């Protein structure tokens, strides 16, 4: 009878150890998933920072170029013009103060600005698509985490039920002997 009691105690200890190990495993799985999500989020942040820095650099370069062109036009005419009017045709003879060179320069500026606008709109669309993809990925990962947590809970519940079943069997065996 003492050997049966010892084996009963051993089974209980084994069940407790199994339950403890399952709990540790669940904790480690959750930590690994959390770390993976954190790493992915940090990578996305780094990519966004690089893109922001690139945009700032391009914007600063554009501003520098614009300031240089203003200085040139201000130096030539003594007036700094920020209106960026669209002059598509050379000025008529009555407007001799507008040279063909100035008209050409303004038209080039308009074309450059239109190209910049198109490229920025494309970049904006691309970034929005990436954000949407990241949101979808986040939802998928969140759902995976929820499912895995539910599975761990199910395993823990089964482990407890197994412990109770083993305890009940042990009581029956001890009562039967």
The domain segmentation of the chain, as residue ranges, is 2-176
The two three-digit tokens of residue 62, written as one number: 């554009």
The two three-digit tokens of residue 174, written as one number: 């001890």
Nearest to 77 by CA among 93, 94, 98: 98
Cβ-contact 97, 104 below 8 angstroms: no
Residue owning tokens 């007036």: 79
Cβ-contact 110, 84 below 8 angstroms: yes
Query: SS3 string of 58-113?
Result: HHHHHHHHHHHHHHHHHHHHCCCCCCCCCCCCCCCCCCCCCCHHHHHHHHHHHHHH
Q: What is the pLDDT of residues 121-171, one digit of tens each?
A: 999 999 999 999 999 999 999 999 999 999 999 999 999 999 999 999 999
pTM equals 0.36
Helix axes 100-176, 2-77, angle to 10 degrees: 170
Q: What is the pLDDT of residues 62-112, one digit of tens each?
A: 888 877 766 665 444 444 445 454 545 555 555 556 678 888 888 889 999
Q: What is the pLDDT of residues 8-59, one digit of tens each?
A: 655 666 666 777 777 777 777 777 777 777 777 777 777 878 887 888 888 8
């Amino acid at each position: 009878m003492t050997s049966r009691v010892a084996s009963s105690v051993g089974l209980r200890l084994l069940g407790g150890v199994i339950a403890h190990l399952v709990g540790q495993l669940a904790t480690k799985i959750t930590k690994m998933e959390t770390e993976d999500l954190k790493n992915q989020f940090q990578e996305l942040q780094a990519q966004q920072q690089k893109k922001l820095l690139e945009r700032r650099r391009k914007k600063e370069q554009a501003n520098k170029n614009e300031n240089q062109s203003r200085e040139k036009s201000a130096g030539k005419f003594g007036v700094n013009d920020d209106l960026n009017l669209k002059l598509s045709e050379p000025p008529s003879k009555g407007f001799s103060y507008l040279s063909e060179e100035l008209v050409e320069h303004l038209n080039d500026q308009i074309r450059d600005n239109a190209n910049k606008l198109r490229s920025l709109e494309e970049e904006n669309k691309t970034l929005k698509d990436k954000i949407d993809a990241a949101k979808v990925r986040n939802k998928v990962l969140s759902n995976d985490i929820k499912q895995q947590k539910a599975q761990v809970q199910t395993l823990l519940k089964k482990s407890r039920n197994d412990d109770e079943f083993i305890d009940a069997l042990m009581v029956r065996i001890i009562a039967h002997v």
